[in-house]
Structure 1
Amino acid sequence: MAKKVDYNLLHVYLLIHKHRSLSLVAKQLGCTDSAVSKMLSKLREGFNDQLFVRHTSGLEPTALTEWLAPKIEIKLTALDAVIDEAIENAFETERHVVISLLPVDISLFGSVLYSQLSQFFPDVKFSLVSWAENTPDKIASKEVDFAVGPSLDNNSKLCYQTVMFDTSYNLVVPEKDIYTSWHDYLKYRLLRQLVPGWNIAKRPITEMLDKQKIPYYVDDLTDFDDISYANNIMLANKGDLPYGIGLFSHQIDKFKQNINSNVYIVNPSTFGEFKIQSKIEFCLYEYVGNRGNYFYDQVKSILQNTLNPKNK
């Protein structure tokens, strides 16, 4: 050969061999006759052979094409099958995908999420694990594939972080405890979600309340990671200092559906005398090398549709 053959043109080569007409090939490819003619010229140059000669009945293959075309067709068919299988199945066999969520989100959304993922990818093993302080590091080291949680100062270039949705922090109390002023809720002890690395080392919620000059009671904070247990404490306590549960907005509807519907939701930044809407960013964390991969994009889409309150 005078030059290396452009393998992208081999399918065109086989089509010309099949139809013996540049016009029919152009019609099938959705391009002009001239474009197919230029492709044939490149093939002739690459193979250093005419490949096809004009005849009254159409294009007739040369001796090289008669010998070569069937062999190329066999090889290309096998290669196409491998590529199609890879794209369609995205290497699903024996794949294990680990997703990290807040413990409460696992309780509220876990069964729905797991069901949808298993339905779309029956051959893939999925594991839902609790959010940890070093979750971004685990993504960078490929121990975790995806995580959804509050925005962190993530310095890893291997852990890609994008905002998935905005949420806010709310106080959940028994339905009977409805007041007209936020000050009436200051008597509540707060059962606070345990979010390692976010509300343990620092206090973003209290910082937000301080900034908006909203009073709060923090002398007795109790962390929890079991939402059913927290709900039982809230409903069972009848003392002078009752308990309320701190929940993010995207968790409220699922909490009402799955845990207890007889509750009242109070957002201190929009309640009574306070009208400043405060937003907390929840982010999707993923390994940078997975971005743009068809399989991982599908998993990410299911995650977004399940957790994002705007999709409800």
Structure 2
Amino acid sequence: MDIALAMRVFARVVETKSFTRAAETLDMPRARVTVIVQGLEAHLRTRLLQRTTRSLNLTPDGAAYYERSVRVLADIDDIESSFLGKERAPRGKLRVDMPGAFGRLIVMPALGGFHERYPDIDLMLGLGDKPLELVQEGIDCVVRIGTLQDSTLVARRVGVYQGVTVASPAYLRKAGTPRTLDELANHRAVNYYWGRAGRIMPLMFEKDGEVVEMRMQGSVAVNDAEAYLLSALNGLGIVQGSRFMALPYLESGALVEILPQWKPPTLPISVVYPHNRHLSATVRAFVDWIADLIRHHPLMSSTPEADARCRPTSIDAQDADAIDVAGDEAEPIA
């Protein structure tokens, strides 16, 4: 039997905790995945998985085999990349997820250049802010904005996010322009919420070297960055959004920056991916491409001033080019 293929299929079943999801992410019929795993168990003369109608668990032998298989597969990928990298361009399916507004406004307009450079990569691009289980959902990497939690995934910081506090001229004519943070108590915000619990994100300001959180009253809350900014344009209240989204409206006068002396904290933009895929040529190609794209964007590229103000990439590391983080559950930033 093809041991390398059997290892990959078995590892994906373990990681997705499902024969069906493994088949979907591998683009194989479910029946073939089942046959391959059963054939591997027969070849090894041991049971690797304990199956019930409701669960799928590793046996002790299965756990040991999975751990060693992941290392072997990484070595195989490394060997192939070192010998084929100069002769064969990256190819195959690549599934990526990123915040909707970032994807539509920054990435989508540049995708033609990515396709010209890597014509053999079949890119599946998901746009959204909800937390994802990368391995279980078959996602190769995600772009996230904000400080990440600590875990066994890898994060590479590729840029910095600059926020801005804005409101429409109509709102300010009616409610007045706040001159201090304390005056925000007399104003209304459009709130941004995320997660299954609908957690409301506070407005955040840097003051005297510290971050001040302001929780404001508001009659509208949304969970989409573009709807969030549109609410401000319609005069519904104060919002804190991304500068790259707000810039055209600031230049036209449709929005006005308020409290510019107390800016929102600068946040890291990171690409996050599983350890066992960090040697993939397709993932590496995308990460390098998007890092280059952001590097040339004036509102997201790293500068000494922005880096000095930027919050850490993860809660347990101050800064690094590639560090371990826990998942992609950064708080979504509008």
TM-score of the superposition, structure 1-length normalised? 0.52
Counterpart position of 1:235: 233
Per-residue deviation, residues 215-263 of structure 1 (Å, max 9, x unmatched): 5524445123151x444432333xxxx4233213xxx234434998432
SS in 2 for 1:298: helix
Percentage identity across aligned positions?
Answer: 8
Is the 8 Å Cα contact of residues 169 and 205 (structure 1) preserved in structure 2? Answer: no
1:171 matched to 2:165? The reply is: yes
Per-residue deviation, residues 114-158 of structure 1 (Å, max 9, x unmatched): 2332221123222221345432x21x3461122111222142x2x
Counterpart position of 2:94: 97
1:147 matched to 2:137? The reply is: no
Structure 1 stretches of 5 or more lacking a match?
Answer: 1-81
Structure 2 stretches of 5 or more lacking a match?
Answer: 1-80, 304-334
Per-residue deviation, residues 95-130 of structure 1 (Å, max 9, x unmatched): 221221112212322322423322211232222213
Counterpart position of 2:43: none
1:281 matched to 2:264? The reply is: no
SS in 2 for 1:182: coil
Map 1:1-312 → 2, pairs under 5 A: 87-92=86-91, 95-135=92-132, 137-138=133-134, 140-141=135-136, 143-149=138-144, 150-155=146-151, 157=152, 159-174=153-168, 177=172, 179=177, 181-183=179-181, 185-193=184-192, 195-196=194-195, 200-201=198-199, 203=201, 205=203, 212-213=211-212, 215-220=214-219, 222-225=221-224, 227=226, 229-237=227-235, 242-248=236-242, 252-257=243-248, 261-262=252-253, 263-266=255-258, 271=261, 274=262, 278-307=265-294, 309-310=300-301
Counterpart position of 1:9: none
Please identify, of 117-126 and 160-169, the stretch whose mean Cα deviation from structure 2 is larger: 160-169
- Amino acid aligned to 2:101: V
Per-residue deviation, residues 172-204 of structure 1 (Å, max 9, x unmatched): 22257494613455555433455548x955747
Q: How many residues align?
A: 210
Report which of the two has the higher share of helix.
1
Q: Distance in 1 between matches of 2:285 and 2:140?
A: 13
- Amino acid aligned to 2:257: I
Q: Distance in 2 between matches of 1:119 and 1:224?
A: 34
SS in 2 for 1:243: coil
Q: Distance in 1 between matches of 2:277 and 2:180?
A: 45
Report the CA distance shift for 1:234/1:153 in structure 2 as closer, same or farther (over 3 A). same
Counterpart position of 1:31: none
Report the CA distance shift for 1:188/1:125 in structure 2 as closer, same or farther (over 3 A). farther
Is the 8 Å Cα contact of residues 222 and 228 (structure 2) preserved in structure 1? Answer: no
Q: Distance in 2 between matches of 1:258 and 1:294?
A: 39
Using the TM superposition, give the Cα deviation of residue 205 of structure 1 relative to its aligned residue in structure 2, in angstroms: 4.9
Is the 8 Å Cα contact of residues 232 and 238 (structure 2) preserved in structure 1? Answer: yes
Structure exhibiting the larger radius of gyration computed from Cα positions: 1
Using the TM superposition, give the Cα deviation of residue 285 of structure 1 relative to its aligned residue in structure 2, in angstroms: 0.4
- Amino acid aligned to 1:167: Y
> Relative contact order, CA 8 A, sep 6+: which one is greater?
2
